[in-house]
């Protein structure tokens, strides 16, 4: 049943919000749980539809999962993997499903996964993942829309990534953890989610050094063991950034708890640049703003640059800033899907190749808009909090993929968002 948000502008958001576990950390860790034949428990797992999709996928391969007592804990037992093929239907729901390829190839010497299609933000190729598997000695076969990787044994190799791809870094790291010998992964991604995955793999017997730098060294081990390990997922830096912008756009005063300040530094720096106050303390991060915000230029880059996953949300803030801003999206080729909808709300934005030129306007106006993807949807919610008049947002299933009831969380801070069946 499709649902939509009815957003009534709310004035300043105030209060405190606890940040949940990171979607982009728990998805690769759930895939990595396939590497060990003993149970392991994950904590601080967010309740998101993407996480549910990954759980269903690993269960379709034979893994067993169950709630493990306290909220947000899940135990995975992959002792009995019965299939090495991920179904087209399940992978179609979640591109990150491609991350099961590395673990299956490492542990069983074979994996068959549908080539994930493109999505709203770009073609999303996986060539770097496959080049890494081939460098480790796997034979890669493409047929009928599936990719099959096979290898009797994987041998450690020196691999240089053409682009610091997050997914390729994760997939190759998971394949290399059981390979014979040492793998050196250079020009790899350094996102915090990479470090979380490496910490999980090391907690089940992996030997990985350098995660968080552009060179990761992996000493292959014969097998992994996870008897009773518990791994807590890092907080979601993109959820945190989204609430930081929510506080700024409504001229509010919001404190975020359970957040790692280091992980949101690029967003903090950009908010300060546009006249928003950000204070870090042991209690968390306080974001407040009682003046007009300024324009700023912004370029998305791999970590620690400004995150592409925060680009749309920040555009909503710049749309009502005084002056002209330029946003350049360097990571994905089509990540301005929110522009059309923001323009329907009165924003003045012009796209020129990979840049969006934003002329700040005094006010946006509420109307009917549609979410096209996860972060574009979040950007529309943020714009609606500030717009004059009521905004109706359809396609909110995109938002539920990466936020655990964004409507309820914002309402806790004073927003007025109704979720109704279309």
Q: Does 53 bind ligand EPZ (CB under 6 A)?
A: no
Candidates 23-31, 133-141, 313-321, 410-418; binding stretch for ligand EPZ (CB under 6 A): 23-31
Q: Closer CB to ligand EPZ, residue 54 or residue 256? A: 54
Q: Does 124 bind ligand EPZ (CB under 6 A)?
A: yes
CB of 251: closest distance to ligand EPZ in angstroms?
26
Per-residue contact string for residues 387-406; x = within reach of ligand EPZ by CB under 6 A? ---------------x----
Residues 330-389 that bind ligand EPZ (CB under 6 A): 331-332, 374-375
Q: Can you tell me which of 92, 125, 181, 305 binds ligand EPZ, judged by CB under 6 A?
A: 125
3-class secondary structure per residue, 331-390: CCCCCCHHHHHHHHCCCEEEEECCEEEEECCCCCECCEEECCCHHHHHHHHHHHHHCECC
Q: Cα separation of 376 and 148, whole Å?
A: 33
Q: Does 128 bind ligand EPZ (CB under 6 A)?
A: yes
Q: Does 308 bind ligand EPZ (CB under 6 A)?
A: yes
Q: Does 118 bind ligand EPZ (CB under 6 A)?
A: no
As beta bridge partners, residue 281 has 284
Q: Does 122 bind ligand EPZ (CB under 6 A)?
A: yes
CB of 182: closest distance to ligand EPZ in angstroms?
23
Residues 314-333 that bind ligand EPZ (CB under 6 A): 331-332
Q: Can you tell me which of 36, 165, 183, 255 binds ligand EPZ, judged by CB under 6 A?
A: 165
Candidates 120-128, 257-265, 268-276, 361-369; binding stretch for ligand EPZ (CB under 6 A): 120-128
CB of 162: closest distance to ligand EPZ in angstroms?
7
% helix / strand / coil in the chain, to the nearest 5? 35, 30, 35
Q: Cα separation of 137 and 151, whole Å?
A: 6
Strands 40-43 and 229-232 come out as parallel
CB of 346: closest distance to ligand EPZ in angstroms?
26
Q: Tell me, what DSSP letter sits at residue 21? A: B
CB of 67: closest distance to ligand EPZ in angstroms?
23
Q: Does 96 bind ligand EPZ (CB under 6 A)?
A: yes
Candidates 165-173, 220-228, 246-254, 388-396; binding stretch for ligand EPZ (CB under 6 A): 165-173
Q: Does 255 bind ligand EPZ (CB under 6 A)?
A: no
Q: Which single residue brings its beta carbon nearest to ligand EPZ? A: 167
Q: Does 29 bind ligand EPZ (CB under 6 A)?
A: no
**What count of other Cβ atoms lies within 10 Å of the Cβ of residue 125?**
13
Strands 3-8 and 229-232 come out as unpaired
- For the chain, counts of helices (H) and of strands (E): 14, 23
Residue 374, CA atoms < 13 Å, CB-side half-sphere: 21
Of the candidates 419, 210, 192, 392, the one whose C-alpha atom is nearest the C-alpha of residue 309 is 192
Sole residue written with tokens 């990571």? 331
Is the distance from CB of 184 to CB of 194 less than 8 angstroms?
A: no
Q: Closer CB to ligand EPZ, residue 98 or residue 288? A: 98
Q: Which two tokens stand for residue 144?
A: 């009928």
Is the distance from CB of 102 to CB of 133 less than 8 angstroms?
A: yes
Residue 389 burial by CB count (10 A; 0-12/13-18/19+): exposed, middle or buried? middle
CB of 261: closest distance to ligand EPZ in angstroms?
19
Q: Can you tell me which of 42, 57, 105, 126 binds ligand EPZ, judged by CB under 6 A?
A: 126
CB of 362: closest distance to ligand EPZ in angstroms?
30
Candidates 10, 119, 188, 289; catalytic one: 119
Q: Cα separation of 48 and 404, whole Å?
A: 6
3 state SS of 208: strand
Compute the radius of gyration of the chain from its Cα atoms: 21
Q: Closer CB to ligand EPZ, residue 15 or residue 122? A: 122
Q: Can you tell me which of 35, 113, 168, 249 binds ligand EPZ, judged by CB under 6 A?
A: 168
Helices (H), 204-305: 237-249, 265-273
Q: Is 119 labeled as catalytic in the residue annotation?
A: yes
Q: Can you tell me which of 18, 80, 127, 388 binds ligand EPZ, judged by CB under 6 A?
A: 127
Provide the binding-site residues for ligand EPZ, judged by CB under 6 A: 23-24, 27, 96, 122, 124-129, 163, 165-168, 189, 308-309, 331-332, 374-375, 402
Active site residues: 119
């Amino acid at each position: 049943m499709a649902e939509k948000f009815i957003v009534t502008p709310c004035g300043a958001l105030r209060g405190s919000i606890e940040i949940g576990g990171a979607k982009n950390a728990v998805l690769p860790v759930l895939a990595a749980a396939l590497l060990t034949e003993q149970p392991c428990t994950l904590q601080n797992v967010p309740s998101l539809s993407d996480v549910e999709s990954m759980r269903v996928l690993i269960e379709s391969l034979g893994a067993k999962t169950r709630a493990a007592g306290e909220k947000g804990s899940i135990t995975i037992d992959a002792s009995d993997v019965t299939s090495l093929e991920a179904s087209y239907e399940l992978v179609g729901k979640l591109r990150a499903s491609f991350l099961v390829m590395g673990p299956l190839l490492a542990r069983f010497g074979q994996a068959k996964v549908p080539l994930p299609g493109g999505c709203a933000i770009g073609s999303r190729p996986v060539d770097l993942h496959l080049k890494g598997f081939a460098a480790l000695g796997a034979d890669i076969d493409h047929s009928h829309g599936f990719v099959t990787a096979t290898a009797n044994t994987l041998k450690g190799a020196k691999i240089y990534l053409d682009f610091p791809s997050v997914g390729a870094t994760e997939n190759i790291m998971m394949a290399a953890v059981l390979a014979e010998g040492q793998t050196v992964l250079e020009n790899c991604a350094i996102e915090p989610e990479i470090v979380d995955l490496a910490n999980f793999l090391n907690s089940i017997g992996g030997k990985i050094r350098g995660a968080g730098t552009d060179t990761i060294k992996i000493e292959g081990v014969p097998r992994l063991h996870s008897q009773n390990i518990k791994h807590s997922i890092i907080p979601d830096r993109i959820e945190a950034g989204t609430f930081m912008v929510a506080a700024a756009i409504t001229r509010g005063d919001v404190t975020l708890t359970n957040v790692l300040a280091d992980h949101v530094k690029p967003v903090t720096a950009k908010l300060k640049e546009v006249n928003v106050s950000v204070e870090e303390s042991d209690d968390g991060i306080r974001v407040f703003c009682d003046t007009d915000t300024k324009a700023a230029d912004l370029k998305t880059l791999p970590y620690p640059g400004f995150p592409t996953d925060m680009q749309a949300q920040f555009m909503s803030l710049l749309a009502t800033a005084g002056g002209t801003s330029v946003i350049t999206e360097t990571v994905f080729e089509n990540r301005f899907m929110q522009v059309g909808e923001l323009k329907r709300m009165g924003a003045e934005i012009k796209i020129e190749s990979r840049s969006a030129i934003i002329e700040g306007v005094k006010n946006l106006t509420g109307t009917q808009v549609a979410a096209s993807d996860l972060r574009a949807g979040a950007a529309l919610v943020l714009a609606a909090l500030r717009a004059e008049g009521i905004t109706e947002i359809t396609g909110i299933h995109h938002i539920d993929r990466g936020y655990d009831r964004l409507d309820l969380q914002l309402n806790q801070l004073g927003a007025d968002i109704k979720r109704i069946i279309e």
